């Protein structure tokens, strides 16, 4: 994701100063969620559905352009569009359609069609660039293509596929396949460190999140199509992640490994949330119930290490105790997916508690947008409201509204 590089540079500097994110199976006993998880009464009418609607109202008023693209934000960067910000809004609207808000299909489909402005038409294998202007100009001016952007897009399109019909349903599946094809043929997977996808085409780091999203995409495509190529790639990514970036002492996946071979051992909420989903979809695709147990164990590890009990929220990462809507909110999505897999309501306690804390600390009560970062107690809150954060809060609250 584009602005993650700047965070990575900041974290390295900060670290230097300090040291001078199928089938239902019964859960394994060792994979039971922590029984100390907070419980919250279930309301008769879901306030989370209402919150998701209000978040979308913010998007319509401030971020949606006449071109059907989405601004990075309405203040400091209103003329730029980031690929994963736009894809995340499609993801949010797919969630709304899934809960019966069918009017969101128009927003979802219009934005999907506009995504062609990110696609590299000059390359035989295509691939999404990370940046254009909101009118579609300056495509390729930043020549980098991001593995996580392209993989996430494919995953998003498969969610859109599930809530679509006719020609649009076929279009979403075709583009998800095109994203996977770009991943396979991009050269972003190589023999350095025995495999693994680089973060982007500059080939500087191999992170958990890029690989985890690719694993999700390949596994879901295999489940849908039965094509062996997707099974082979999903299995290869799974093996590489478990060998190179899994940390047995904590039961979590670390951040990344860089070109020089240095492992960055910070644990991010969203990295591990992505891997919970990767295990779930892989197990379903391969009809292997052991992956449900792996997902449960990883969810428990998240709740031991990445959950702040005082503030009832997931932290950004183990070296940065802040809260941020998209990257911390991803933890709620993982917990909801675990509940859907094993029906253990304790997972929903974490999902709901996390959303409630983010709403308390980062939601603007007037506009219903979401500020980008704050300390866990709300101190030092950023002034910018990023489109990706609003999109993710719309999505996870829509998902939660089915159950709470």
Q: pLDDT tens digits for 330-372?
A: 999 999 999 999 999 999 999 999 999 999 999 999 999 999 9
CATH of the domain at 39: 1.50.10.20
Among residues 292, 397, 385, which one has the least CA distance to residue 336?
397
One DSSP character per residue, 47-70 reads HHHHHHHHHHHHHHHHTB-TTS-B
Q: Name the residue with tokens 């900060």.
A: 14
The vertex-339 CA angle with 335 and 341, nearest 5°, equals 115
Q: How confident is the model at residue 232 (pLDDT cuts 50, 70, 90)?
A: very high
Q: Name the residue with tokens 């306030």.
A: 47
Q: Establish if 44 belongs to a structural domain.
A: yes
Strands 246-247, 80-82: pairing is unpaired
Q: pLDDT tens digits for 235-257?
A: 999 999 999 999 999 999 999 99
Q: Establish if 128 belongs to a structural domain.
A: yes
pLDDT higher than 70, residue 111: yes
**Backbone phi, then psi, for 197, in 5-degree steps?**
-90, 135
Q: Establish if 16 belongs to a structural domain.
A: no
pLDDT higher than 70, residue 69: yes
Q: Establish if 5 belongs to a structural domain.
A: no
Q: Establish if 15 belongs to a structural domain.
A: no
Burial code (b: 16+ CB inside 10 Å, e: under 16) for 325-360 equals bbbbbbbbbbbbbbbebbebebbbbbbbbbbbbbbe
**How far apart are the C-alpha atoms of 99 and 121, rounded to whole Å?**
35
| Mean local confidence (pLDDT), 386-403 | 98
Q: How confident is the model at residue 2 (pLDDT cuts 50, 70, 90)?
A: low
pLDDT higher than 80, residue 40: no
Q: How confident is the model at residue 23 (pLDDT cuts 50, 70, 90)?
A: very low
State which residues form the domain around 156. 21-400
Q: Establish if 69 belongs to a structural domain.
A: yes
Cβ neighbourhood burial of 298 (10 Å; 0-12, 13-18, 19+): buried
Residue 1: the pLDDT is 63
Among residues 258, 3, 330, which one has the least CA distance to residue 144?
3
Give the global pTM. Answer: 0.90
Please name the residue ranges forming H helices in 127-207: 147-162, 166-185
**How far apart are the C-alpha atoms of 113 and 360, rounded to whole Å?**
35
Q: Establish if 13 belongs to a structural domain.
A: no
DSSP H or E stretch at residue 206: strand 205-207
What total number of domains does the chain contain? Answer: 1
Mean residue pLDDT of the chain comes to: 92
Q: Establish if 8 belongs to a structural domain.
A: no
Among residues 207, 317, 209, 305, which one has the least CA distance to residue 262?
207
pLDDT-above-70 percentage for the chain: 89
The answer to whether 129 touches 140, Cβ cutoff 8 Å, is: yes
Q: 116-125 long-range CB contacts below 8 Å, 24 or more apart?
A: 117/69, 117/81, 118/81, 118/83, 118/86, 120/145, 125/181, 125/182, 125/185, 125/186
**How far apart are the C-alpha atoms of 184 and 143, rounded to whole Å?**
19
């Amino acid at each position: 994701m584009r602005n993650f590089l700047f965070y990575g540079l900041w974290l390295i500097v900060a670290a230097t100063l300090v040291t001078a994110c199928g089938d239902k199976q019964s859960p394994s006993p060792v994979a039971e969620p922590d029984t100390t998880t907070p419980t919250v009464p279930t309301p008769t009418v879901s306030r989370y559905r209402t919150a998701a609607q209000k978040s979308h109202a913010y998007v319509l008023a401030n971020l949606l352009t006449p071109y059907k693209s989405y601004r990075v934000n309405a203040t400091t960067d209103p003329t730029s569009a980031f690929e994963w910000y736009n894809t995340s809004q499609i993801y949010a609207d797919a969630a709304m359609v899934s809960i019966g808000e069918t009017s969101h299909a128009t927003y979802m489909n219009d934005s999907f069609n506009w995504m062609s402005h990110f696609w590299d038409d000059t390359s035989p294998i295509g691939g999404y660039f990370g940046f254009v202007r909101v009118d579609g100009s300056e495509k390729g001016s930043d020549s980098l293509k991001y593995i996580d952007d392209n993989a996430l897009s494919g995953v998003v399109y498969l969610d859109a596929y599930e809530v679509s019909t006719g020609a649009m349903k076929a279009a979403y599946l075709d583009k998800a396949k095109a994203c996977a094809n770009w991943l396979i043929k991009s050269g972003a997977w190589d023999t350095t460190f025995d495999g693994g996808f680089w973060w982007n085409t500059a080939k500087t780091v191999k992170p958990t999140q890029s690989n985890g999203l690719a694993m999700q995409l390949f596994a879901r495509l295999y489940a849908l199509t039965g094509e062996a190529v997707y099974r082979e790639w999903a299995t290869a990514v799974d093996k590489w992640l478990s060998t190179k970036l899994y940390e047995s002492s904590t039961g979590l996946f670390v951040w990344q490994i860089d070109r020089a071979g240095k492992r960055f051992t910070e644990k991010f909420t969203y990295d591990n949330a992505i891997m919970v989903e990767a295990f779930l979809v892989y197990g379903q695709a391969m009809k292997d119930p052991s992956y449900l147990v792996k997902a449960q164990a990883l969810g428990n590890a998240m709740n031991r290490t990445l959950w702040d009990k005082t503030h009832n929220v997931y932290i950004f990462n183990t070296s940065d105790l802040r809260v941020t809507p998209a990257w911390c909110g991803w933890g709620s999505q993982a917990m909801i997916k675990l509940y859907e897999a094993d029906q253990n309501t304790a997972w929903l306690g974490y999902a709901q508690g996390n959303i409630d804390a983010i709403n308390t600390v980062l939601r603007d009560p007037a506009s219903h947008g979401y500020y980008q970062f704050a300390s866990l107690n709300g101190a030092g809150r950023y002034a910018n409201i990023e489109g990706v954060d609003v999109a993710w809060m719309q999505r996870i609250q829509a998902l939660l509204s089915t159950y709470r």
